[in-house]
Amino acid sequence: MSIRIGMGYDVHQLAEGYKLWIGGIEIPYEKGSVGHSDGDVLIHAICDALLGALNLRDIGYHFPDTDPELKGIDSKILLQKTMEIIRNEGYDLGNLDSTICLQQPKINPVIPEMQNTLARVMNVDRSKVSIKATTTEKLGFVGEGKGISAYATVLLVVSS
């Protein structure tokens, strides 16, 4: 069996006046992610992991923030398109393991909804989508509430 492993990382500034999208769902909060798209840090890290596993560069290469047509785009669309790219290369998702780093708000209660949303968008079984959340114990830009980051690792397997 041929397998490929990819790792992705993304970070976004948090600011008032923006919506907070994480894992394909909107989370009510006083600050949101600043970005060219909807700023979904988790989906962006997942896209980078998927593309990186097949040496296909990164999300910015495929969906540049200089493209006015992508301004404000729903990141779920970017994830769907990324999965199309992966499947066109003959691979599918074996599993995804991800971590969201955010001081506030607490998101553990909505992780199952994120898993369901991402599984649906990626057209995979929910059991293949792992999402964890952590704080940085008030250290650094995340701990100070200035930003959010996410890590994603994927295992890709040859499509059957």
According to the annotation, is 63 in a ligand binding site? yes
According to the annotation, is 11 in a ligand binding site? yes
According to the annotation, is 66 in a ligand binding site? yes
User: What's the Cα-to-Cα distance from 92 to each of 23, 55, 73, 117, 145, rounded to whole Å?
Assistant: 19, 15, 24, 18, 36
According to the annotation, is 36 in a ligand binding site? yes
DSSP state of 63: S
What are the start-end ranges of the H helices in 27-157?
A: 41-53, 59-62, 75-88, 111-122, 140-143
According to the annotation, is 74 in a ligand binding site? no
Give the number of residues written for the chain. 160
According to the annotation, is 62 in a ligand binding site? no
According to the annotation, is 48 in a ligand binding site? no
According to the annotation, is 33 in a ligand binding site? no
Answer yes or no: are the C-beta atoms of 22 and 40 closer than 8 Å: yes
Q: For tokens 């997942």, what's the residue? A: 46
According to the annotation, is 67 in a ligand binding site? yes
According to the annotation, is 137 in a ligand binding site? yes
Annotated binding site for a divalent metal cation, which residues? 10, 12, 44
Annotated binding site, which residues? 10-12, 36-37, 44, 58-60, 63-67, 134-137, 141
